[in-house]
Amino acid sequence: MVRLNVKHDRFTPPNWPAGFKLRIVALADIHACTTWMNVPRIDKIVKKANALKPDIVVLLGDYLSGMHLMFKSLPHDHWAESLARLKAPLGVHAVLGNHDWWEDLQAQARRGGPTMAGKALEEVGIKLYSNDVTRLEKDGYGFWLAGLESQLALLANRRYPRRNIEGLDDLEGTLAQVTTNEPIVMMAHEPNIFEKMPDRVAVTLSGHTHGGQVRVRKKAKSARKRYGTQYSYGHIVEDDRHLIVSGGLGYSVLPLRFGVPPEINLIELG
């Protein structure tokens, strides 16, 4: 079993309230299946995440396995019930990823939700965001948590899944729901939206790339080619805007990781 890493980032975003400290645990790209990402493995991840004592937990999408032709998928209620054991004072919050849409034939046929993965999360009490926001408070400080729908949700042709993909994200409409000047934490499964993210958003949290799964000399050029993104991994800062791209927990294409172990992300703001 590949070791499980905790990737720790600590920083203060611009215009973050003085004295406000927020501890976030992020889990991305679980890709549940009956082999390496089974219930006991997810339970271990949950136990380690809870031990970090987060103020809030965010789930960044891709709960479903994209390798179902080679490996059997884990039933939705099994992985969801494991994730329901995550604990944080400000709750557990989730967005969907592209595989949560791609592996759902009924959602693809109707060109929209609800998805099976989304219903599984909601049935165990995890709040699901689809271009939504909610206002939260900690120690007298308020902030907004926002979640975008997948930018790669709907396939035009399942035989050629990289062609003509339709996103269901609505960045402008999501941000329009924010009614105060308090900071915003954004959940977005795919990181490419960061190039459009206004500096009004304190930090964007993404997954999707798995850090390339194989990194040599701290580089993973394959992530850009395979996932079509210019943001492959880590803490990225552009024009005082902050993006965290998680290396994720599961596998895509092949059950192989080298130089980028599965990781839980701990982000401390303030």
> Digits of tens for pLDDT over the chain (270 positions)?
557 999 999 999 999 999 999 999 999 999 999 888 999 999 999 999 999 999 999 999 999 987 665 567 889 999 999 999 999 999 999 999 999 999 999 999 999 999 999 999 999 999 999 999 999 999 999 999 999 999 999 998 766 666 789 999 999 999 999 999 999 999 999 999 999 999 999 999 999 988 655 454 555 444 444 445 678 889 999 999 999 999 999 876 555 554 578 999 999 999
Q: What share of the chain is helix, strand, coil (3-state, %, to 5)?
A: 25, 30, 50
Read off the pLDDT of residues 129-156 as tens digits, 9 standing for 90 and up. 999 999 999 999 999 999 999 999 999 8
Ordered DSSP codes for 133-181: EEEEEETTEEEEEEEPPPTT-B-S-TTSTTSSPBP---HHHHHTT--SS
Fold observed for domain 5-269? Purple Acid Phosphatase; chain A, domain 2 (3.60.21)
Q: Where are the domains of the chain?
A: 5-269
pLDDT tens digits, 221-266 = 444 444 456 788 899 999 999 999 999 998 765 555 545 789 999 9
> In the chain, what is the straight-line distance between the N-terminal and C-terminal CA atoms, in Å?
35
Residue 113: DSSP 8-state? -
Angle between helices 76-83 and 116-123 (to 10 degrees): 40
